[in-house]
């Protein structure tokens, strides 16, 4: 059974930083692209960042480009999201997800992800 467990969320002042982690189990983690999505109250889930199976390709939503960095450690079966210069509009529940496709580059589309974590809350106050 595939499990994705996020951690690292919390309450932070605008301009601050957080690092989210997502620990994976139940499948060969290193074979699959991973993504981060977020959902704010009353809004649809949106793409944040994605990383290819080998970590060589990364993709970001325009709203976080230059502030957030996605990375992975395949030896630890973990993907990270480093979030700097946080803004109140970054407040949301953040979800990690594991792609359907072995060896892929990663996707901005939620429906292309097979497994999802339970989410971790990030709240940014001004």
- Which pLDDT belongs to residue 101? 86
79, β-bridge pairs? 22, 72
Q: Closest Cα partner for 92 from 6, 28, 2?
A: 6
pLDDT at residue 105 in the model: 87
CA atoms within 13 A on the CB side of 70: 29
| Angular region, 108: left φ>0, alpha ψ -120 to 50, beta rest | alpha
Over residues 90-115, mean pLDDT: 93
- Contacts (Cβ under 8 Å, ≥6 apart) of 25: 2, 3, 77
Each residue's pLDDT tens digit, 46-78: 999 999 999 999 999 999 999 999 999 999 999
The helix (H) or strand (E) run that includes residue 122 is: strand 120-125
Specify the pLDDT at position 122.
98
- Section 82-106 average pLDDT: 94
Note the pLDDT tens digit of each residue in 8-42.
Answer: 999 999 999 999 999 999 888 889 999 999 999 99
Predicted pLDDT at 87: 98
* Burial class, 68, CB count within 10 angstroms (exposed 0-12 / middle 13-18 / buried 19+): buried
**Of 113, 95, 96, the residue nearest 104 (C-alpha):** 113
Mapping DSSP to helix (H, G, I), strand (E, B) and coil, where does residue 112 land? helix
pLDDT for 29 equals 87
Cα radius of gyration (the chain):
13
């Amino acid at each position: 059974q595939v499990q994705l467990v996020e951690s690292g969320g919390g309450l932070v002042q605008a301009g601050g930083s957080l690092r989210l982690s997502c620990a994976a189990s139940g499948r060969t983690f290193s074979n699959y692209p991973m993504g981060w999505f977020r959902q704010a109250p009353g809004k649809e889930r949106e793409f944040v960042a994605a990383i290819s199976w080998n970590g060589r390709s990364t993709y970001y939503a325009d709203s976080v480009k230059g502030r957030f960095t996605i990375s992975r450690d395949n030896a630890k079966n973990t993907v990270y999201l480093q979030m700097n210069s946080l803004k109140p509009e970054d407040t949301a529940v953040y979800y990690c997800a594991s792609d359907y496709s072995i060896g892929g580059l990663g996707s901005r589309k939620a429906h292309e992800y097979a497994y999802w974590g339970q989410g971790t809350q990030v709240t940014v106050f001004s």
